[in-house]
């Protein structure tokens, strides 16, 4: 499984690198190299950890994101995400390097890189706490899914999405794309559309989730939403 994980990761980010550098028109883009290295290293590290401590979750996360029985709304949102992510990367490469449509000060690169690392750590903490954190919205009856209330789930109901929010701001800051950063709130809108669908399914089909929603009020950011 680890071999498959590494192969999938390298292929995925190899394609991502090709999109970035192809759109930029150059391989001499240090910020993009930092982004790719961060994502590959952290992705493989988390995957190897899952292979050792939670192979069931790793299998779920390596499975197809579109599955039988999955809600049509969730399929549509995931398709939007899979199309929008590479399109966003290409746009930022065109913006920051090839055409210089916008500009961010160089000092934003370091906090951008740090936000990416914090986001990846949030993913790790989510996986460590929740063995049912599959990319597909479903009830994993065969794995005995239960409500998770500990760790980051004691603060917000969707810690992985909270981490993803940091990623969406960190990537354009690192890559130096002002217009890419301006589009970051659009990713939050997609998450805010998916979260109610997910929570409705969990509330209706997972015992105890309704009570958990009453105890933990915040979805993404404590005190905000």
Q: Which of 161, 142, 121, 134 is nearest to 59 (CA)?
A: 134
83: three-class secondary structure by DSSP: helix
| CATH architecture for the domain at 2-215 | Up-down Bundle (1.20)
Residue 185: what pLDDT? 96
Q: Are 127 and 46 spatial neighbours (Cβ–Cβ below 8 Å)?
A: yes
Give the three-class secondary structure for 63: coil
11-24 burial code (b ≥16 CB/10 A, e <16): eebeebbebbbebb
pTM more than 0.85? yes
CA distance 196 to 191: 9
Say if CB 157 and CB 187 are below 8 A apart.
no
Q: Which of 159, 164, 155 is nearest to 217 (CA)?
A: 155
Distance CA 179, CA 177 (A): 5
What are the residues whose beta carbons fall under 8 Å from the beta carbon of 119, sequence distance 6 or more? 163, 164, 165, 166, 167, 170
The structural domains of the chain, with segments of one domain joined by +, span: 2-215
**Maximum pairwise Cα distance, the chain:** 53
For the chain, 225 residues long, give each residue's pLDDT as a single digit of tens: 788 888 989 999 999 999 999 999 999 999 999 999 999 999 999 999 999 999 999 998 988 777 776 777 778 888 888 899 999 999 999 999 999 999 899 999 999 999 999 999 999 999 999 999 988 878 888 888 999 999 999 999 999 999 999 999 999 999 999 999 999 999 999 899 889 989 998 999 999 999 999 999 999 999 888
- The DSSP result for 124-142, as a single string, is HHHHHH-TT--SS----GG
Can you tell me the distance from the alpha carbon of 176 to that of 39, in angstroms, rounded to the nearest whole number?
A: 17
Residue 141 burial (10 A CB sphere; 0-12, 13-18, 19+): exposed
Determine phi and psi for 119, rounding to 5 degrees.
-60, -45
Amino acid 69: pLDDT? 65
């Amino acid at each position: 499984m680890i071999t498959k994980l590494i192969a999938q990761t390298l292929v995925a980010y190899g394609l991502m690198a090709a999109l970035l550098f192809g759109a930029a028109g150059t391989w001499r883009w240090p910020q993009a190299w930092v982004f790719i290295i961060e994502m590959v290293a952290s992705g493989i590290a988390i995957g190897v950890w899952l292979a050792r401590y939670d192979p069931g979750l790793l299998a779920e996360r390596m499975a197809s994101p579109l599955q039988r029985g999955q809600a049509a709304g969730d399929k549509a949102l995931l398709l939007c995400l899979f199309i929008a992510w590479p399109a966003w990367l290409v746009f930022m490469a065109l913006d920051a390097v090839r055409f210089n449509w916008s500009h961010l000060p160089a000092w934003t690169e370091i906090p951008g890189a740090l936000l990416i690392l914090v986001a990846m750590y949030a993913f790790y903490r989510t996986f460590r706490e929740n063995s049912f954190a599959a990319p597909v919205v479903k009830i994993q009856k065969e794995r005995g899914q239960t409500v998770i209330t500990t760790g980051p789930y004691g603060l917000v109901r969707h810690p992985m999405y909270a981490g993803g929010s940091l990623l969406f701001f960190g990537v354009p800051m690192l890559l130096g794309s002002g217009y890419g950063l301006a589009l970051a709130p659009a990713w939050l809108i997609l998450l805010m559309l998916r979260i109610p669908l997910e929570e409705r399914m969990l509330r209706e089909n997972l015992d105890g989730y309704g009570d958990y929603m009453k105890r933990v009020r915040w979805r993404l950011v404590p005190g905000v939403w």
